[in-house]
Structure 1
Amino acid sequence: MTGSELETLDKTGADWQVRLKRTRVFARVTPLQKLMIVDELNQQGHFTAVTGDGVNDAPALRKAHIGVAMGTGTDVAKETAAIIAADNNFASLVAGVEEGRHAYNNIRKVVYLLISTGGAEIVLFSLSLLCQLPIPLGAVQLLWLNLVTNGIQDVALAFEGGEPGVMNNKPRPPNEGLFNRLMIAQNVVSGLAMGLLAFSTWAWLLAQGTGVSEARNFVLLLMVLLENV
């Protein structure tokens, strides 16, 4: 759709919204029309990104969720945009988005690991105190579990390669937190499962007459195994 065709549409009618949703390429549009297109897409719930290099692109760059200025663009465009493509290559934007998605997914994996394993330890210690049992892990064992075992896993997850097909996924909602409801439920279930299994093993070993030191070593090995599963 060209700018002249766009000018003939009634911007307050349903035809404007339908045509905008169906059109894939707009050509020879004015800066005002570009701003109107971005504004309407935002109102329809789309996540918009605008590239530009001139002063007349500044309003649309500011209105879009992500404004991208070219490296050779004007100072006004660069100051308005959120991202500057220094090499003036649109392919760099795709690579940047892909790398950002990989990094975000890895951060979620690390946080998921820390919260679920930490929750399991809380369940283990809380139930032991409520049942008036000895503390299930010593200070050195806790340090080993949290610093060595979790530390190695955190580094491995942080530098994990990206999952294939990540660019085929739809962008996540801008207002979505680091954890969605599914991940929160998974954290609760996995933390409770690990904690209850470790406590059951701890209580059973003590009931069988196993020494506290030997039982602690067994629980430590069990926790390390569960965290690596």
Structure 2
Amino acid sequence: MDDFLWDWVLSYQELVFTRISPEHKLRIVSEFQRRAEIVAVTDNRAKDVPALKCAHLGVAIQFDIEVSKEAGDIILLDNNFSSIIQAIETGRLLSDNLKKVAVYRLPEGSWSQIWPVFFNLWFGMPLALSALWATVFCMLNDVVMSLAVVTEKPNRDIMSRPPSIHGKDHLLNIKLLIHAYLFVGILECFTAFFCFCYYWIDNGVPFYSFVFTYEKFGLNGTTPYTMDQLQSMTNVAQSVYYCSMCLFQFFNFFATRTRYTSILQHNPFWGKGQNLYIFGAMFMSIAIQLFFTQIGWFNRVLGTGRVPAKYVMPTLGFGMLWLIIDELRKFCIRKYPRSLLARIAW
């Protein structure tokens, strides 16, 4: 058959080919692949190994010959072809959860932690996040919350999505990085800096007195505090920045739980989306914050500070704002699947 006939034959959603040779089967697989279709093949004859190997997914079963098992990508141990659906769902769930971990960790793991250094170097501001807080955040708070991410159940639309194209689709792509850095990362970083500056200004240190001061912070007579007092206040301000990031990450967690489904349709309390590990992880993250900020020994030895609750309260407002924005984004993607917003969605 020529290309015109192949286009006509393969335009049908359901096809049955009979009395075909191994060469014909290989040709059918190749023609589907030429038209950007994802092809799965199963067979237990040695002659059909080329088609099994050529397909995107070669499926062998337990009682197949050894050649078929070696050529196949997966082996069905229960000899039940319905297990393929479950295997595909599990594979998509693993890929989804890995992407969710990336979207959850990238905004703070690099973005919100590197900008305090840049602001300190470029604008002469006091360092908003110390190396200690960056280490505690990455190795304790975020690890605990990330473990809750990987226990997520599949979203209700997971099997309705088109399959990934091997060699073209990647775990980390430009869409995911734009979402993590330019949307979540910028808002989270702004929120933490807002709380950081709010603490200084509320305690009688104007914004202009700690910008472009570099090593002369506190020496220019614009603050009524001594250097020892300013050092103690810097410890508290850095703790405020850290706690603000931790709190914002709770909202980012709930926004990241679903890619396109509403959080109301995939709630963590009951149903198919139930994930009670979330609340244990949140409790542990809060306990870590209180442990390092409220115990006097850590304040003295590690240079942390007690954080008054009012200085991290603005994070609740910014966090809810992000949840609303993300819910509107997901609604537009579901409502208009061909829109620009849907095309750039991770």
TM-score range, shorter chain: 0.7 to 0.9
Distance 1:216 1:162 in 2: 38
Partner of 1:217: 239
Equivalent residues of 1:120, 1:193 under 8 A apart: no
CA gap of 1:136–1:18, structure 2 versus 1, over 3 A, is same
Q: What is the CA distance between 1:66 and its match in structure 2?
A: 1.2
Where do 5+ consecutive residues of structure 2 fail to align?
206-229, 252-346
Alignment of 1:198-217 (within 5 A): 198-207=192-201, 208-209=204-205, 211-217=233-239
Q: Percent identical across equivalent pairs? A: 26
Q: State the secondary structure of the residue aligned to 1:166.
A: coil
1:179 pairs, out of 172, 178, 181, with: 172
Equivalent residues of 2:33, 2:39 under 8 A apart: yes
Q: Number of residues paired by the alignment?
A: 219
Query: For residues 88-117 of structure 1, what are the alpha-carbon distances to aligned partners after superposition, in whole Å with 9 as ceiling and x for unaligned?
Result: 110111111100100110000111122111
TM-score (norm 2): 0.59
CA gap of 1:131–1:46, structure 2 versus 1, over 3 A, is same
Where do 5+ consecutive residues of structure 1 fail to align?
1-10
Once the two structures are overlaid, the 10-residue window that deviates more, 18-27 or 52-61, is 18-27
RMSD: 1.8
Partner of 2:97: 106
Distance 1:18 1:123 in 2: 56
2:8 pairs, out of 5, 12, 18, with: 18
Alignment of 1:24-173 (within 5 A): 24-118=15-109, 119-173=111-165
Where in structure 1 do 4 or more consecutive aligned residues deviate above 6 Å?
none
Distance 1:36 1:213 in 2: 69
Higher relative contact order (CA 8 A, sep 6+): 2
Once the two structures are overlaid, the 10-residue window that deviates more, 44-53 or 182-191, is 182-191
CA gap of 1:170–1:13, structure 2 versus 1, over 3 A, is closer
Distance 1:63 1:132 in 2: 60
TM-score (norm 1): 0.88
> Could you tell me which amino acid in structure 1 is paired with residue 234 of structure 2?
V
Q: What is the CA distance between 1:204 and its match in structure 2?
A: 4.3
Distance 1:132 1:16 in 2: 67
Distance 2:64 2:115 in 1: 57
Query: For residues 36-63 of structure 1, what are the alpha-carbon distances to aligned partners after superposition, in whole Å with 9 as ceiling and x for unaligned?
Result: 1111101111111100111121111011
Partner of 1:4: none
Query: For residues 48-92 of structure 1, what are the alpha-carbon distances to aligned partners after superposition, in whole Å with 9 as ceiling and x for unaligned?
Result: 110011112111101111111121111221122122112211011
Query: For residues 135-178 of structure 1, what are the alpha-carbon distances to aligned partners after superposition, in whole Å with 9 as ceiling and x for unaligned?
Result: 22333322221122101111000111111231111112321121
